[in-house]
Amino acid sequence: MKIFFIILAAVAALFLLYVIIGTLIGTKMTIVRHLDEATAKRDKKKPLTKKTEYQQKYKQMKAEGQEWLDKQTFEPLTLKTFDGLTLRGKFYRTENAKATVIFCHGYRSWPEREFMSVVKFYGEHGFNFLFYDRRAHGKSDGKYITFGVLDRYDLRDWIKYIDELCGRKFPIVLDGVSMGASTVCMASSLDLPENVKVMIADCPYTSPKEEIAHTMKTFYNLPVFPLIHTISFASKILAKSGFSDCDAREEIAKTKIPLFLAHGAEDRFVPTYMGKQIYDACNSPKELFIVEDASHGFAYVVATEEYRQKLMKFFKEHGVL
């Protein structure tokens, strides 16, 4: 009997050690800001697809976008968040502008990486646009990534700032990819200016908890329990945001802003069913565009012309252009 309790105690100690180490490593990997992605590491990141034809198309579209962007001028902006962080962005004004688009990038990424392929399209159709580094990314302040839970308030404040900067005269479009798309959905229920006419959510996840659990199982073969709860608890203490504090489905159900939701059918990082669940929860005018053969964040690259046509039609239907 004594041996049994010794073994039981040893197993319990090992399990506790596993939880402690797993929580420490998981917290660092998940929410803690890494070496500043504003510098050299940015150019080394690869597109999230293994298909050569789409890699080449992405590189070409990015190069064309960069060439166009280099000819534009921008106004550097800073924004103080509700909790005292300083965020930094670039506001580009387009000649004879008709509308403004605010881009919201994804996890450990930056605007130029995710929107360079589309920025020329927006500019040539009369859009001003804002690139900003979200909290704990790029040149903005912050130690911890909050997966949209706190970032949605930052997005709200950027929207109000840009609206005032433009004299409240332009329709506003919100365009987010991955974590940025979820942030757009989470922010949609907040008190936003009436001229926010359309939101675009490309491959959004439903909630931080479900996305992180999916990543743990799919890419790291880790048991979700108990680490998802202990890492979330650490996030709550360090970042003031837990993984269950906000759900894109619940917030999107409260908004009246029209939603254009795109998702790649081959997305393994944020599974397509998450986008469909958000779409189903939305009660405002909406359109769903599932792109076959597209991996994470590659719907626009794979189906460029169809994507553009659908966007323009959606914009015209909802008073953007």
Domain boundaries of the chain, sorted by first residue: 51-317
- Note the pLDDT tens digit of each residue in 196-234: 999 999 999 999 999 999 999 999 998 899 999 999 999
DSSP calls for 208-247? HHHHHHHHHHHHH----TTHHHHHHHHHHHHTS--TTS--
Query: What would the two tokens of residue 174 be?
Result: 């919100």
Q: Give me the residues paired with residue 99 across strands.
A: 127
pLDDT of residue 12: 73
Of 14-23, 97-106, 130-139, 227-236, least confident by mean pLDDT is 14-23
Q: What is the pLDDT of residue 41?
A: 47
235: which residues sit within 8 A by CB, 6+ positions away?
Answer: 27, 30, 31, 144, 146, 241, 242, 243
Q: Residue 228 in contact with residue 213, Cβ under 8 Å?
A: yes
* Band of residue 97 on the pLDDT scale cut at 50, 70, 90: very high
pLDDT of residue 17: 74
pLDDT, average across residues 3-31: 79
Candidate CATH numbers 3.40.50.2000, 3.40.1280.10, 3.40.50.720, 3.40.50.1820; the one for domain 51-317 = 3.40.50.1820
Whether pLDDT at 269 is above 50: yes
Q: What pLDDT sits at residue 50?
A: 62
Local confidence band at 29 (pLDDT 50, 70, 90 cut-offs): confident
pTM, two decimals, is 0.94
- The size of the chain, in residues, is 321
